[in-house]
Structure 1
Amino acid sequence: MHRWLAPTRIAFGLLAAVALGVAGHRAATGATGVVDFFSYFTNLSVMAAVVVLLAGGWAGLTGRRPVPGPVRGAVVLCTTVTGLVYGLEVAVYPVALMIPWVGHVLHQVMPLVMLADWLLDPPQRRIRPVQAVGWLAFPFLYLAYALLRGWAVGWYPYVFLDPSRPCGYGRVAGACFVTTLGFVLVGAALMWAGNTLGDRRAAGSDTPPRGRRAHARTT
């Protein structure tokens, strides 16, 4: 791992934590409310990214075991899709929380940071397809939560999940299908990139590769 990567991870983790704190305070003291603040996929994804970055940075500085590749991959997938969806203007962040620099950090900076971190420091062990499929667990749980809570309280965090809009549940189902397809395609690309770059790093290293990658190279 590059020597500068550990402090860089900590720096971006702290930046994201501050941005979330500012947005959370504004939500708690305004009309949005704390529960709604924690109901946005963006906020939850960036919270997970903060934990991964700080834990990874601390591990790099102290020589501790790094964050497992499958865990990192799940968070990278969520933040990357968040950035793509926001870039396509499908998901609109609430005006009450949209402090310009906060929105920039959460929707643009952090997805790029997490993707770059994955590519610069690919997982030490190959990501298996079953692990990549497991990355979809949180998005599906979030979708169930958002729809059930929306049905109960009449509020949905994103417009494309609101069945009261034109075309109702048919439009919601279509949006969910397209979003799921996006998660699958991005997840497959992340798995391929992580495994390919990890193999190249192992091949160019003087130390023997670890785990399943080692087994694959010795058979």
Structure 2
Amino acid sequence: MPAPATYSWLAPARLAVAAFVAVALGFSGYRAATDATGVLNFFSYFTNLSNLAGIAVLGYGGWAGLTGRRPVPDELRGAVVLYLAITGLFYGTLLATYPEQLVIPWVSDVAHRVMPLLAFADWLIDPPVRRIRPVVVLGWTAFPLLYLTYALLRGHAVDWYPYVFLDPSRHGGYRRVAGACFLMTAAFLLVGAAVAALGNAAAAHRDARDGTVPRGRHARAGTG
């Protein structure tokens, strides 16, 4: 995703953020691999998966901006922004109070606060070229639904759940889990609609400022 000519700093900034978050997850992953958590459990947290996706999107986006390669599709960027936004919102409102979710404190701050905010800022600074349609937002929910299915099936098989609201052994059983899954799906749809709307609004502001409606990101990329 080459940056507009006026934002020549964006590509190296993306690479720097991706590298920093990768180091943070590396610390957390190493601890998980050497304690009772285990590598498979580490990769079963939505937080870690969303941050890995953010590292990939920002890292490749920065590299593409510096080398003139084809950018990351806006639909994929928006999906990752949504997943990171949900990560930050759910942690701030639900998960921070649970001792089970405590990890290395500074890594937790990076994964749950810093990365979601920076990814969202990147989305607004370099908004989508084409309008994000509602059907795209609907498609963004495919991965979270697959994740929920995986977490529930694996949890049933190994008796371990990454998040307490997915654990049917707690009060309320599967009825509570079903309610939590419904609320999570609704949250993904609502937050996804907000991510798309804000991205579209930022794109409209950019086009009004530039006086053009570019056909593709390369039309406004300059030399990247």
Matches within 5 A, 1:33-44: 33-44=38-49
Aligned to 1:14: 19
Q: CA deviation at 1:89?
A: 2.8
Q: Percent of aligned positions with the same letter in both sequences?
A: 63
Distance 1:210 1:93 in 2: 49
Larger RCO of the pair (alpha carbons < 8 Å, separation 6+): 2
Aligned to 1:26: 31
Structure 2 residue identity aligned to 1:197? A
1:145 aligns with 2:159: no
Matched residue of 1:204: which SS?
A: helix
Distance 1:93 1:56 in 2: 35
Distance 2:174 2:213 in 1: 53
Matched residue of 2:131: which SS?
A: coil
Distance 1:27 1:189 in 2: 34
User: Does the 8 A contact of 1:90 with 1:160 survive in 2?
Assistant: no
1:193 aligns with 2:198: yes
Aligned to 1:214: none
Q: Which runs of 5+ in 2 are unaligned?
A: 217-224
Aligned to 2:222: none
Matched residue of 1:88: which SS?
A: helix
2:106 to 84, 91, 101: 101
Distance 1:176 1:208 in 2: 40
Q: CA deviation at 1:207?
A: 5.0
Q: Which runs of 5+ in 1 are unaligned?
A: 212-219
Report how many residues are paired.
Answer: 210
Q: CA deviation at 1:139?
A: 0.3
Structure 2 residue identity aligned to 1:118? W
Which structure 1 residue ranges, 4+ long, deviate > 6 Å from structure 2? none
- Structure 2 vs 1, CA of residues 64 and 74 (structure 1 numbering), >3 Å: closer, same or farther? same
Aligned to 1:210: 215
2:181 to 173, 176, 179: 176
Structure 2 residue identity aligned to 1:194? G
TM-score by length of 1: 0.91
Moved more, 20-29 or 199-208: 199-208
Structure 2 residue identity aligned to 1:45? S
Aligned to 2:167: 162
Distance 1:195 1:166 in 2: 42
Structure 1 residue identity aligned to 2:81? V
Distance 1:202 1:93 in 2: 47
Matches within 5 A, 1:115-134: 115-134=120-139
1:52 to 50, 54, 57: 57
1:3 to 2, 5, 8: 8
Q: CA RMSD in A?
A: 1.5
TM-score by length of 2: 0.89
Distance 1:3 1:137 in 2: 34
Matched residue of 1:87: which SS?
A: helix
2:85 to 77, 80, 86: 80
